[in-house]
Amino acid sequence: MAPKPITSPVPDAWYPTLSVFMLAIGLFVTASFFIYEATSSRQNRSLGKELITGAVASVFLGFGSLFLLLASGVYV
C-alpha cells in the first residue's frame, strides 16, 4: 500500500469565503438573539429559544473565526 498524501478537510482556497459567510450568518443570528433579549419581557421569554439561538450563533461564529484564523495564516 502506497502512502497516501493527507490534505486538509476543506481546501485552503475556500477559507476566506467560508469565513466571511459563516461570520455573516453568525453575526446575524447574534443580532437576532440580542434583539430578542432586549424586546421580549421577562415573563414570556423562553429559555429554550434563547439557548438554541445562542448555540446556533456560536457554532457559526466559532467556525467562522476558525476559518478567519486559517485564512489569515494562523494555522492552529
Partner 1 sequence: MGVRRKMALRFDLIIFTILLFASPVLSDLILSKVDRRIDLTSQIVRITSTLKVENEGSEPVSEVLLAFPDLQVKDLALLKASPHEGKGKVKSLSASLPVENVKPNGMPAALTFYAVKLPKALGKGDSYTFDVLAVFAHALRPFPEKITQADIQLVVFQESAFYLTPYVVKVQSLSVKLPESRIESYTKLENTKIHGSEIKYGPYENLPSFSYSPIVVHFESNQPFAVGQEVVREIEISHWGNVQVTEHYKLVHGGAQNKGEFSRLDYQARPTIRGASAFKYLIAKMPPRVHSVYYRDEIGNISTSNLWGDSKKTELLIEPRYPLFGGWRTAFTIGYGLPLKDFLFELEGNRFLNITFGSPMNELVIDNLIVKVVLPEGSGDISVSAPFPVNQWEETKLSHLDLTGRPVVVLQKTNVVPEHNQFFQVYYKFSKLSMLREPFMLIFGFFSLFVAGIVYMHVDMSISKSSAAYLARLQWDEVQAAIQQVENVINRCLTTHDKLEASLRDLSRTGDVQACKAARKAADGLLKELSKELKLVLSFLQSSSAASQILPKVEELVAKEKDLQEKVMAKHSTVVDCYEKKTGIRDSENRVAAQQQKITALRQEVENLLELIDEI
Per CB under 8 A, 66 contacts partner 1: yes
Looking at residues 11 to 40 of the shown chain, list those that interact with partner 1 (rule: CB under 8 A): 11-12, 26, 30, 33-34, 37, 40
- Long-range contacts made by residues 65-74, C-beta under 8 angstroms, separation at least 24? 65/19, 65/23, 67/10, 67/15, 67/16, 67/18, 67/19, 67/22, 68/19, 68/23, 70/12, 70/15, 70/19, 71/15, 71/16, 71/19
Which stretches of the chain bind partner 1, using CB under 8 A? 1, 3-12, 26, 30, 33-34, 37, 40-45, 47, 50-51, 53-55, 57-59, 61-63, 65-66, 69-70, 73-76
